[in-house]
Amino acid sequence: MDRREALSMMGIMFGGTIIGAPAFLSGCTQSRAKPVLSESDIVFLNEVGETILPATSSSGGAKAAKVGEFMNTIVTDFYTDEEAIIFADGISTINEKSNNKYGDTFVKLDDKKKHELLLELEKEVQLSDDTASHYYIMMKQLSIWGYFTSEIAAREAFYFDPTPNGYDACIPYKKGDKVMFSPVGSGGALNYALMSSNQDKTA
């Protein structure tokens, strides 16, 4: 797999290129000021996150992990104005699609309809030439990033022991056993994504 394919696969599976990659959207003309997300936007984003990474019997979901607040922080602090505009416009676009299809805003849909709608966006992204600058990919990436670096994920979706005070080199593992949470470095979720895709290691 070449780098382009790998990135494209990562884009589909894990949510686009690394946010803040150089010249991510360079050349775009800035049409208006950087948008400020509202409380209701954050509620909306928590619902998007929860649809991607829902609560299950074994662990809390993205809403409990407050990924909406995390998305707001990253969009405010890290995103360029152009990226933030695409992101904020995406909130309106999803609500328009929701209204057209189901006659209600996204937040008010039941879980099944939310899931259906996001699956449609997944298909739309797969047909897109520029997955990295698609609002849905931004939301999906931030959901994954925010959730898999949250305390809820560390303590519920994973096994977390900050001071193991020992190392057991070989233990049995069966499907369903919890995996050690990795506390190291930046973006554990991104590392998981890189490790589990077959992407070219020179990338």
Partner 1 sequence: MNTPNLNIKAQESQRYDAIVIGSGMSGGWAAKELCEKGLKTLVLERGRNVVHAKDYPTANDLIWDHPHRNTTHPDVARENPLVNRYFFDPSTEHFFVKDDVHPYVQKRPFTWIRGYQVGGRSLMWARMVQRWADFDFKSNLEDGNGTDWPIRYEDLAPWYSHVEKFAGVSGNRDGLRQIPDGEFLPALGDMNCVEKYFKQFVESNYPERNVVISRSANVSQPHNGRVCLRRNLCRRGCPYGGYFSANATTIPAAEATGNMTLRPHSVVHSIIYDENKGKAVGVRVIDANTKETYEYFSDIIFLNAGSLNSLLIMMNSTSNRFPKGLGNDSEVLGHYIMHHNYRSGAAAEVEGYTDKYYAGYRPGNSYIPRFRNYGQDKQNNFLRGYAYNFQAGRSAGNLKPTDEPIGAAFKEKFTELGPWTVRAGGMGEILPNYNNKVYLNKDQTDQWGIPLLETDVGYTENDDNMAADMKNTAAEMFDAAGFKNITTWDGNNPPGQDIHEMGGARMGRDPKDSILNGFNQMHAVKNVFVSDGACMTSSACQNPSLTYMAITARAANYAADELKKGNL
CB of 172 to partner 1, least distance (A): 6
Q: Which of 80, 81, 84, 49 is nearest to 65 (CA)?
A: 49
CA dihedral 133, 135, 140, 142 (to 10 degrees): 80
149 with 187: CB under 8 angstroms? Answer: yes
Supply the angle between the helices 39-52 and 67-77 in degrees, to the nearest 10. Answer: 120
Q: Which is nearer to partner 1, 52 or 109 (CB)?
A: 52
Distance between CA atoms of residues 22 and 200, nearest Å: 19
Neighbours of 137 (CB within 10 A): 24
Closest distance to partner 1 from the beta carbon of 59 (Å): 8
DSSP code, position 200: -
Q: Which is nearer to partner 1, 89 or 159 (CB)?
A: 159
CB of 43 to partner 1, least distance (A): 19
Residues that bind partner 1 (CB under 8 A): 9, 12-13, 19-20, 22, 51-54, 56, 59, 61, 70, 73-74, 77-78, 115, 118-119, 122, 140, 144-146, 148-151, 153-154, 157-158, 161-175, 177-180, 182-188, 191-193, 195-198, 200-202
Smallest gap, in angstroms, from Cβ of residue 119 to partner 1? 7
Of the pair 29, 186, the CB lying nearest partner 1 is at: 186
